[in-house]
Amino acid sequence: MSGSLPPNAGRRLKVAVLVSGGGSNLQALLDACADPAFPAEIVLVLSNKAEAGGLDRARRAGVAAVTVSHRDFADRATFEAAMQEVLRAHGVEFICLAGFMRVLTAGFVEQWNGRMLNIHPSLLPAFKGLHTHAQALAAGVRFHGCTVHFVKPALDDGPIVVQASVPVLPDDDEDSLAARVLTAEHRIYPLALKLVASGDAVIDGNVVRLRKTAADAAIQINPSDE
């Protein structure tokens, strides 16, 4: 399952979205994939938490919703082996992590090398890890944002597909800043998946190159408006 994406010749890429929580980014992806012309379709939503709101969003959209609880397994490797089995059973070709709160082993990440995206609520490489909005406020940056990137074994690392910046306003607190960033997340995750699934965004070493045909999309790649 590792390596670069196969040419999809007009076929829609079969995607699993992995969630642990409410799934508002999942919803943005489901909404985009509802268009039959979108180059990807969501065939599975997988969660490590049975109570994740994202599972309800999947069911409402008529998408398979499966829980694999990490608590049922002795270690990460057996938990991930169970997830792999579910992914294989659903014919999944590509993974989007959307608020999936388990650290994945290097072995799992390598198996999905070039076939797994994550969304992170900061302008990477700034502010990796948790509490990114608090980190941004503490650093006093004037711009903050979000990043969709391919997943590498190192946390919050990997070739960047799309970023969006938002201003940090004088009265911002963590909540107001998070809400502004989340709005941008919902815009860029579907855009990133579209660029990758259509073959317009291709990994080249540590970076992602955009094909010329993606030039129109490129204009939105760093949207600064709301």
Tell me the catalytic residues: 120
Closer CB to ligand GRF, residue 23 or residue 159? 23
Q: Which helix (H) or strand (E) holds 57?
A: helix 53-60
Q: Which amino acid is at 24?
A: S
Taking the least distance from each CB to ligand GRF, the nearer of 25 and 163 is 25
96 binds ligand GRF (CB under 6 A): no
Q: How far is the CB of 1 from ligand GRF (least distance, A)?
A: 23
Smallest distance from the beta carbon of 160 to ligand GRF, in angstroms? Answer: 14
Q: How far is it, in rounded angstroms, from Cα 190 to Cα 172?
A: 27
Separation CA 51–CA 74 (nearest Å): 21
Neighbours of 120 (CB within 10 A): 24
State the CB neighbour count (10 A cutoff) for residue 48. Answer: 20
Q: Distance (Å, rounded) from C-alpha 167 to C-alpha 124?
A: 16
* Shortest distance, position 16 Cβ to ligand GRF, whole Å: 15
Q: Does 122 bind ligand GRF (CB under 6 A)?
A: no
Q: Does 99 bind ligand GRF (CB under 6 A)?
A: yes
Least separation, in Å, of the C-beta of 182 and ligand GRF? 6
Closer residue to ligand GRF, CB minimum distance, 94 or 147: 147
Residue indicated by tokens 């960047």:
160
Task: Retrieve residue 203's tokens.
Answer: 């990994």
Q: Whose Cβ is closer to ligand GRF: residue 93's or residue 185's?
A: 185
Under the rule (CB under 6 A), what is the footprint of ligand GRF? 21-26, 98-99, 119-121, 182, 185
